[in-house]
Structure 1
Amino acid sequence: MSENTDLAEITYVRGDATVPFGKGVKVIAHVCNDLGGWGKGFVLALSRRWPEPEAAYRRWHRERATNDFGLGALQLVRVDRYLWVANLIGQRGIRTGSKGVPVRYEAIDTALATLGDRALELGASVHMPRIGCGLAGGKWGRVEPLVAARLAGRGVAVTVYDHD
């Protein structure tokens, strides 16, 4: 196995992922559910800044019979000249029930792989809260290796924001 010399790292900072640090093209990544619901958690902070990610997500869900909406899918929404929001479908439903928590690690992994491709095409860094670990009920110990493999391991700089 050849060694990848283009490894990037995951940087952890305190702050607001909707106000990403640094220069250049940036993508703010977050996890969405597969029901078309948008109204709790990190999405509220996104919607306070830009109407486009929510509108695009709701349209994507509404037209799902004719598009790729579903677990593991990724939607990139441009909100500014050098800023995009990545809607990753990585949770089944919105409630913890008999089948456990809503997070679906395989779906997050698939969406992150696609995000890695798109970030490299855009020459973008990726910024996120601890995706899948809020309302989705996931564990960062399971998500972080996916972020490391699909993004940082491919040379995409990642910043993870822990809100105060």
Structure 2
Amino acid sequence: MAEITYVRGDATAPQGKGVKVIAHVCNDLGGWGKGFVLALSRRWPEPEAAFRRWHRERERAGNDFGLGAVQLVQVEPYVWVANLVGQRGIRTGRSTGVPVRYEAIDTALAALGDHARELGASAHMPRIGCGLAGGRWERVEPLVSARLVERGVPVTVYDVG
């Protein structure tokens, strides 16, 4: 049975063997410039470029950009990055409430589960939706369990060491 393993470390350097998908939450404004995405961009340029293109071309037919959508970007032969759109806007000085959208994360994780199973991959992530998006892990963790772990996808969650 798959499970969630918690480790101290860098989610951009996923541990273990086989195909790995690094999942993280993005906003629906096309913004990329704070939080975990900075670590991704330092390591690989492709996820940011693909995300910006996906957002820019969102009006085109067949483009599914929006809350709950997932974009997979291959960055190494056995490593993929999953851009999960699970945040409405961004937090600003005048914001009330948090940008996280748990239902969008749930939808995106379900799609990620399908992709991970097709790839025979494990999933690796920081505590998604709980940084700049303002979410609470006690709300996100059951979604990760239901959409990935219960479907046989092993998950590793990385906490900064």
Q: Secondary structure at the match of 2:49?
A: helix
- Residue pairs, 1:61-140, within 5 angstroms: 61-66=55-60, 67-95=63-91, 97-98=95-96, 100-140=97-137
Shift of 1:127: 0.1
Letter in 2 for 1:84: W
Q: Secondary structure at the match of 1:149?
A: helix
RMSD: 0.7
Shift of 1:130: 0.1
What TM-score does the superposition give when structure 1 sets the normalisation length? 0.94
Shift of 1:95: 1.1
What TM-score does the superposition give when structure 2 sets the normalisation length? 0.96
Question: Aligned partners of 1:9 and 1:69: how far apart in 2?
Answer: 30
Shift of 1:135: 0.2
Q: Secondary structure at the match of 1:32?
A: strand
Shift of 1:134: 0.2
- How many aligned positions are there? 157
Q: Secondary structure at the match of 1:65?
A: coil
Residues 23-76 of structure 1: per-residue CA shift (max 9 Å, x gap)? 000000000000000000000000000000000000000000011000000000
Percent sequence identity over aligned pairs: 83
1:47 aligns with 2:34: no
Please list every run of 5 or more consecutive structure 2 residues that lacks an aligned counterpart in the other structure.
none
**Residue number in structure 1 paired with 2:9:** 15
**Residue number in structure 1 paired with 2:22:** 28
Letter in 2 for 1:83: V
